[in-house]
Amino acid sequence: MAEKEESKHWLGFDLGGTKMQVKVFDEHFQTLGKERRKTKANEGVSAGVKRIVETVRIALEEAGVSLAAIGGMGMGVPGPLNLEAGILELAPNLGWEKVPLRDLMEKELGIPVVIGNDVDMGLYGEYQFGAAQESRCALGIFPGTGIGGACIYEGQILRGKTASCFEIGHVQAIPNGPLCGCGKKGCLEAVASRLVTAAAAAAAACRGDAPHLMQKAGTDLTNIRSGALAESIAAGDVEIENIVRLAAGHMGRVVGSVINLLAPDTVVLGGGLIEAMPDLHAEEIRKGSLETVLSSFEGSYHVVTAALGDDAATMGAAAWAKQLLKGT
């Protein structure tokens, strides 16, 4: 049908815990329109869906593109998903549980919708358009409030039968270590996430070991964000640098173990913490990986920082939708 022939535009949606972002792309994945709004936690599913639909419509209007010209929409979504059924199982940040997001969006918009894990979508964006192009196997590690992971293997997102996988944040880093949010002990996330690093930094500031951080951000965890950590290190807070390097070292050792399993040629580091201190993280993660990787894999992988920033998930989601729906 003529209308199908014209379906050459794609939507990429990134549904985060604090903000949502959508982009309208042409067939070459150039941005035609975009919109970004706050995600209101706990406003309920129907209000949330309405907000998503409004955000999409605003971006389409800006782009001058009608829904009839859209081939489909990919959505990067946080939390465990049932990929087969298109259900968001649990998103504590949104206060959502068992939401049939794919069907709800298809009903509202009248276009095919594909949902995926937000970290998977971000790494797929880097694979298609950014730091991991041409990789046979790309591994992604994205430290933030937690630590997300993803793997693209020969152009496919590694996943389970129904659920997304690659929970690198819950690989054990320290046997019998600190309790993780997931209930297990010693997970990478429990020893190296930004939240854990910020807590250690706050303690150092309380002890009087981080004067610059104390002056700039104080000891309130919500103020000790990636930028504040980077500034404090640049200003000479050696103890904060030690804390951040220690966390990056933990990430590196886990990355090395994963390399032993999958032999990725590219390891992509992304997220706010990495963006704020790319060189420090690349150095420590490279070094840490060498402590655990088999010598035969040394030199077989590149550790690179993500190239697309905030756009990775929207671009990746749109490209993934295109691959699944059109097979290209």
Cβ proximity to Zn ion, 112 vs 186, nearer residue: 186
Sort 318 into a burial class: Cβ within 10 Å, 0-12 / 13-18 / 19+.
buried
Cβ proximity to Zn ion, 19 vs 184, nearer residue: 184
Cβ proximity to Zn ion, 82 vs 172, nearer residue: 172
CB of 186 to Zn ion, least distance (A): 8
CB of 215 to Zn ion, least distance (A): 34
CB of 226 to Zn ion, least distance (A): 21
Q: Does 182 bind Zn ion (CB under 5 A)?
A: yes
Cβ proximity to Zn ion, 183 vs 299, nearer residue: 183
How far apart are alpha carbons 141 and 169 in whole angstroms?
9
Question: Contacts with Zn ion in 258-317 (CB under 5 A)?
Answer: none
CB of 179 to Zn ion, least distance (A): 9
Residue with tokens 């040629």: 265
How far apart are alpha carbons 83 and 125 in whole angstroms?
19
Q: Which residues in the chain belong to E strands, given as ranges? A: 9-15, 19-25, 31-38, 70-77, 81-82, 87-91, 96-99, 113-117, 137-143, 147-153, 156-157, 266-269, 302-305
Count of positions on this chain that bind Zn ion (CB under 5 A)? 5
Cβ proximity to Zn ion, 105 vs 119, nearer residue: 119
How far apart are alpha carbons 72 and 301 in whole angstroms?
34
How far apart are alpha carbons 203 and 214 in whole angstroms?
10
CB of 167 to Zn ion, least distance (A): 8
How far apart are alpha carbons 202 and 169 in whole angstroms?
22
Question: Contacts with Zn ion in 141-180 (CB under 5 A)?
Answer: 170, 180
- In DSSP terms, 114 is beta-bridged to 74
Interface with Zn ion (CB under 5 A), residue from 22, 70, 83, 187: 187
Which residues of the chain form contacts with Zn ion (CB under 5 A)?
170, 180, 182, 184, 187
